């Protein structure tokens, strides 16, 4: 009669020696498979007396259970080892292109800014820049904001914690401080635009806490409102790529210009969308004016010798108008579906020769 202890020792040794899942399966079939050695033992029970069968049957079943659990354990160990081996064998290069590649695109705000720069560059303007974190002097004082002007208050301006000196830095609320920085560092004639980020504590369908402006500044002898009007009307016609744009200048107030105006473009608001160059409505798109003598003086320029004009416009808002985006907040939501829909090709940089958009 087969010695169960010997058989068990043999089978367990084979289980332990199995080097891979295939070898282990062969051991399993040979031991507990239909025609395996242990299954074969069970078949001999029929020829035994009931007492013998009871005792021997229990022993064989227990043997089979032990062998089976040894196989299960070994299988788990082999699988884990195989996974470890695969993980160390297969490295994943995240820089390789994946099966699905969304093509990158130029954000509409950047596209619109490039369009504006290209139009003004063509008119002889240089691009100037200034810091996003400004001081009170450049953002307000030098721009002739009275001491208690409401725009200095917390509800509009993001202030930083005061320094030890009590001075509070702030996130610039407009690109106009670049006018100041340019005038104190350059001699006239000056002809610059300053595209950049601006910040105000405001958020709804047409306001976001961070938005973009383009500032313009021209300083020279004999500059007057006629120059301002021609420059802005020419810009608008080129930007909207049509001569059919009608504009109007409305008197307004800005501390840093005198006289000041807002420029509106004629548009049609019927039918839920805004169409430029037709209709009976007006849409405000920028602020402008003749640079205030106090601002020239604050920047070391003699207002009796030099005059200038300035303007400031919202880039994102002009982009919404030109490309038909209904909600300003979508611009900064980083939704890749929105970017895929409204984005522009990186290879089609706007320029006066081949067109803007």
Work out which of 312, 319, 343, 350 binds ligand DAH, going by CB under 6 A. Answer: 312
Contact flag: residue 191 with ligand DAH (CB under 6 A): no
Taking the C-alpha atoms of residue 198 and residue 211, their distance in angstroms, rounded to an integer, is 5
Taking the C-alpha atoms of residue 264 and residue 164, their distance in angstroms, rounded to an integer, is 45
The residue whose two tokens read 């002809």 is 191
SS3 state at 32: helix
**In terms of Cα–Cα distance, which of 1, 120, 147 is closest to 60?**
1
Contact, 288 vs 232, CB < 8 A? yes
- Binders in 48-107 for ligand DAH, by CB under 6 A: none
**Nearer Cβ to ligand DAH, position 118 or 176?**
176
- Binders in 267-296 for ligand DAH, by CB under 6 A: 287-289
Which parts are annotated binding residues for Mg(2+)? Answer: 258
Q: Least Å distance between CB 307 and ligand DAH?
A: 13
Taking the C-alpha atoms of residue 53 and residue 47, their distance in angstroms, rounded to an integer, is 8
Options 3-11, 61-69, 95-103, 304-312: segment touching ligand DAH (CB under 6 A): 304-312
**Nearer Cβ to ligand DAH, position 119 or 288?**
288
- Binders in 117-176 for ligand DAH, by CB under 6 A: 174, 176
**Nearer Cβ to ligand DAH, position 287 or 350?**
287
Fill in the per-residue mask, 215 to 234: x = in contact with ligand DAH (CB under 6 A), - = not in contact: x-------------------
Contact flag: residue 195 with ligand DAH (CB under 6 A): no
**Nearer Cβ to ligand DAH, position 189 or 324?**
189
Taking the C-alpha atoms of residue 65 and residue 61, their distance in angstroms, rounded to an integer, is 6
Fill in the per-residue mask, 318 to 357: x = in contact with ligand DAH (CB under 6 A), - = not in contact: ----------------------------------------
- Binders in 235-254 for ligand DAH, by CB under 6 A: 254
Q: Is 328 left (phi over 0), alpha (psi -120 to 50) or beta?
A: alpha
Give the helix ranges, DSSP H, for the chain: 4-17, 21-32, 37-43, 50-89, 108-122, 136-139, 177-185, 225-239, 293-298, 315-323, 336-342
**Nearer Cβ to ligand DAH, position 215 or 330?**
215
Q: Least Å distance between CB 332 and ligand DAH?
A: 18
Give helix then strand counts, H and E, for the chain.
11, 10
Q: Least Å distance between CB 288 and ligand DAH?
A: 5
**Nearer Cβ to ligand DAH, position 174 or 191?**
174
Distance of CA 247 to the CA centre of its chain: 34
Q: Least Å distance between CB 349 and ligand DAH?
A: 27
For residues 258, 313, 262 and 134, what is the CA-based torsion angle, rounded to 10 degrees? -40
Q: What is the CA radius of gyration of the chain?
A: 39
Q: Least Å distance between CB 176 and ligand DAH?
A: 4
Work out which of 211, 311, 342, 344 binds ligand DAH, going by CB under 6 A. Answer: 311
The number of beta carbons lying within 10 Å of the beta carbon of residue 139 is: 24
Q: What are phi and psi of 293, to 5 degrees?
A: -55, -35
Contact, 224 vs 259, CB < 8 A? no
**Nearer Cβ to ligand DAH, position 106 or 170?**
170
Binding site for ligand DAH (CB under 6 A): 174, 176, 215, 254, 257, 287-289, 310-312
């Amino acid at each position: 009669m087969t010695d169960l202890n010997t058989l068990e020792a043999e089978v367990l040794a084979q289980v332990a020696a199995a080097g891979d899942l295939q070898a282990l399966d062969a051991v399993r079939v040979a031991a507990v498979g239909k025609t395996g050695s242990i299954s074969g033992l069970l078949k001999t029970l029929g020829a035994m007396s009931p007492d013998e069968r009871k005792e021997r049957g229990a022993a064989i079943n227990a043997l089979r259970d032990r062998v089976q659990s040894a196989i299960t354990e070994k299988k788990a160990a082999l699988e884990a080892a195989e996974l470890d081996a695969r993980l160390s064998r297969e490295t994943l290069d995240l820089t390789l292109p994946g099966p699905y590649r969304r093509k990158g695109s130029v954000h509409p705000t950047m596209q619109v800014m490039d369009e504006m720069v290209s139009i003004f560059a063509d008119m002889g303007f240089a691009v100037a820049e200034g810091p996003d974190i400004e001081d009170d002097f450049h953002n307000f004082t030098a721009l002739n904001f009275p001491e208690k002007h409401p725009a200095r208050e917390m509800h509009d301006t993001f202030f930083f914690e005061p320094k030890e000196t009590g001075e509070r830095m702030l996130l610039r609320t407009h690109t106009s401080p670049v006018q100041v920085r340019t005038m104190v560092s350059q001699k006239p004639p000056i002809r610059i635009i300053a595209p950049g980020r601006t910040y105000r504590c405001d958020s709804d369908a047409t306001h976001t806490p961070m938005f973009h402006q383009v500032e313009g500044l021209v300083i020279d002898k004999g500059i007057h409102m006629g120059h301002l009007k021609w420059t802005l009307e020419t810009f608008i016609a080129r930007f909207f790529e049509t001569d059919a744009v009608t504009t109007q200048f409305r008197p307004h107030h800005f501390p840093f210009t005198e006289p000041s105006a807002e420029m509106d473009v004629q548009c049609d608001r019927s039918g839920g969308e805004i169409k430029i160059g037709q209709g009976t409505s007006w849409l405000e798109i920028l602020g402008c004016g003749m640079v205030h003598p106090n601002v020239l003086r604050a920047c070391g320029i003699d207002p009796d010798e030099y005059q200038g004009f300035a303007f400031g416009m919202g880039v994102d808002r002009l982009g919404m108008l030109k490309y038909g985006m209904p909600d300003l907040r979508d611009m900064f939501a980083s939704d890749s579906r929105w970017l895929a829909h409204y984005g522009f090709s990186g290879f089609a940089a706007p320029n006066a020769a081949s067109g803007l958009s």
